Amino acid sequence: MLNLPEKLAKLEKKDEIIKVGIVGVGQMGAGVATVISRMKGMDVLALADIIKEKAINVFEEIGVLRKNIFCSSDDPDECSRALEKGMRVATNKAQVIPLLPSLNAIVEATGIPRVGAEVAFKAIKNKKNIIMMNIETDVTVGCILAELAKNAGVVYSVGAGDEPGAIKELYDFAKSLGFKIVAAGKGKNNPLDKEATPENLKDIALKKGVNPKMLTEFVDGSKTMIEMTAVANATGLVPDVRGMHGPRCELSELTSIFSLKEKGGILNQEEVVDYALGRIAPGVFVVVTMENKRLRKDLEYLRMGKGPNYLLYRPYHLASIEVPLSVARAVIYQEPTLVSSGKPVAEAITVAKRDLRVGERIDGIGKFDIYGSIEKASVAHKENLLPLGLAEGAVLKTNVKKGGYITWHQIELEKRSVLLSLRRLQDKLFSPKEN
């Protein structure tokens, strides 16, 4: 059986390349396009961004001549004809990409839950593999999208590269070998500041060359909560407490801190998701335990420590650079990198970043009004807590104090939305699992 590099080389030689479309060409989407352009057996044929010129620029950066980029129409049929003539397509209409018949896979990289839901749903409907960098969408409606994709005979998957995919690799390794999982987590890249806004981070964002909204989502903790919700729903692990513990620690302390309280640690239970502050990032970790005396002796011999907890640690995650691997695996092997497994066990929930007033419209993730936390799905359901991915555009029916958890009955949502329709279908099909 050929391995992945050999499979891709064979596709290249046979001129049967994997044809990819990307929605959203900010830092992440542009990175994916650049990597794919350098790989064998794959190519990017269509790009979409709300600023069409950005899509054109990315094509030019990877060596496509302007005269070979079709950007004069956003009509799917005209775009399809352009692809048949050997052109590339640049559009500002995200919904065009899933409608292009020649594409084998689509990467969604906007980070906007509403857009992600629309693109993923249309991709699945049109029998296309969909790779989500938009994890904000996944934690909102990933369970139902995975089910729809399975029924359609295509792959729905969160992409490799970000922490959830990297954690899942370690988790699968540990579970396959019979280890018990104590905790799975990530190092948080930025100092935690739940009051962060795009305004007070704009200078730092400019220096880093990133979008202030994206940086805010990282700094206020929302991204960490979202990512670990995705890990939870793919593995069955749960948050130990609302918002997780997030201790400050060193790498050498992970196995002692992430252990049960009766063993000197911070956990009320094992098999949890969490994160750590300190010099852990950009790595991910899984803390495992093993009761077998012979294997514990072997682990000590292999310099894994005396136990009873052992650390599996990956010191990097390569974000957009690894995503093409998920595209290739989806098309060639029909295998997802990370996908929600049945009923959700965790929920990314919505917290007021400031005092919110009746009649205000919530601005969304990474902005001024809200940030995210994580809770067991059964608790979130019982307490009627609003999923974070649904918050943008919601109108408040009551005042909510800073730090308060926003509930369904406190807001009014736009009734006609693919995202909301998918969420209602998900809630109907998957009642939260008791934890």
**Where among 333, 360, 382 does a domain terminate?**
333
Residues 91-142 pLDDT 10s = 999 999 999 999 999 999 999 999 999 999 999 999 999 999 999 999 999 9
Q: How many domains does the chain have?
A: 3
Amino acid at 272: V
User: Is pLDDT of 414 > 90?
Assistant: no
Residue with tokens 């896979």: 105
The DSSP letter of residue 234 is: H
Residues 282-319 pLDDT 10s = 999 999 999 999 999 999 999 999 999 999 999 999 99
Answer whether 109's CB lies under 8 Å from 22's CB.
yes
Alpha-carbon distance 223 to 229, whole Å?
10
Question: What percent of the chain is modeled with pLDDT above 70?
Answer: 99
Answer whether 171's CB lies under 8 Å from 286's CB.
yes
**Any domain includes 339:** no
Q: Residue 273 region, left (φ>0) first, then alpha (ψ -120 to 50), else beta?
A: beta
> Are 307 and 359 contained in the same domain?
no
Q: b/e map of 351-383 (b: 16 or more CB within 10 Å)?
A: bbbeebeeeeebbbbbbebbbbbbbbbbbbbee
> Are 177 and 204 contained in the same domain?
yes
> Are 137 and 184 contained in the same domain?
no
> Are 280 and 292 contained in the same domain?
yes
Alpha-carbon distance 32 to 35, whole Å?
5
If pLDDT is split at 50, 70 and 90, which confidence band does 434 have? Answer: very low
Structural domain boundaries, residue 58: 4-160+320-333
Residues 5-55 pLDDT 10s = 999 999 999 999 999 999 999 999 999 999 999 999 999 999 999 999 999
**Any domain includes 340:** no
Alpha-carbon distance 124 to 20, whole Å?
14
**Any domain includes 435:** no
Alpha-carbon distance 432 to 435, whole Å?
9
User: Is pLDDT of 1 > 60?
Assistant: no
Residue 280, both tokens: 């852990």
User: Is pLDDT of 375 > 90?
Assistant: yes
User: Is pLDDT of 415 > 80?
Assistant: no
> Are 298 and 366 contained in the same domain?
no
Identify the burial level of 43 via C-beta atoms within 10 angstroms of its C-beta, where 0-12 means exposed, 13-18 middle and 19 or more buried: middle
Residues 189-219 pLDDT 10s = 888 999 999 999 999 999 988 899 999 999 9
**Any domain includes 341:** no
Residues 6+ apart with CB under 8 A from 272: 182, 183, 184, 237, 238, 239, 240, 244
Average pLDDT taken over every residue of the chain: 96
**Any domain includes 149:** yes
Residues 334-367 pLDDT 10s = 999 999 988 999 999 999 999 999 999 999 999 9
> Are 116 and 9 contained in the same domain?
yes
pLDDT (0 to 100) of residue 191: 86
pLDDT (0 to 100) of residue 435: 43
pLDDT (0 to 100) of residue 432: 58
Identify the burial level of 169 via C-beta atoms within 10 angstroms of its C-beta, where 0-12 means exposed, 13-18 middle and 19 or more buried: middle
If pLDDT is split at 50, 70 and 90, which confidence band does 266 have? Answer: very high
If pLDDT is split at 50, 70 and 90, which confidence band does 416 have? Answer: confident
User: Is pLDDT of 2 > 90?
Assistant: no
> Which of helix, strand or coil describes residue 134?
coil
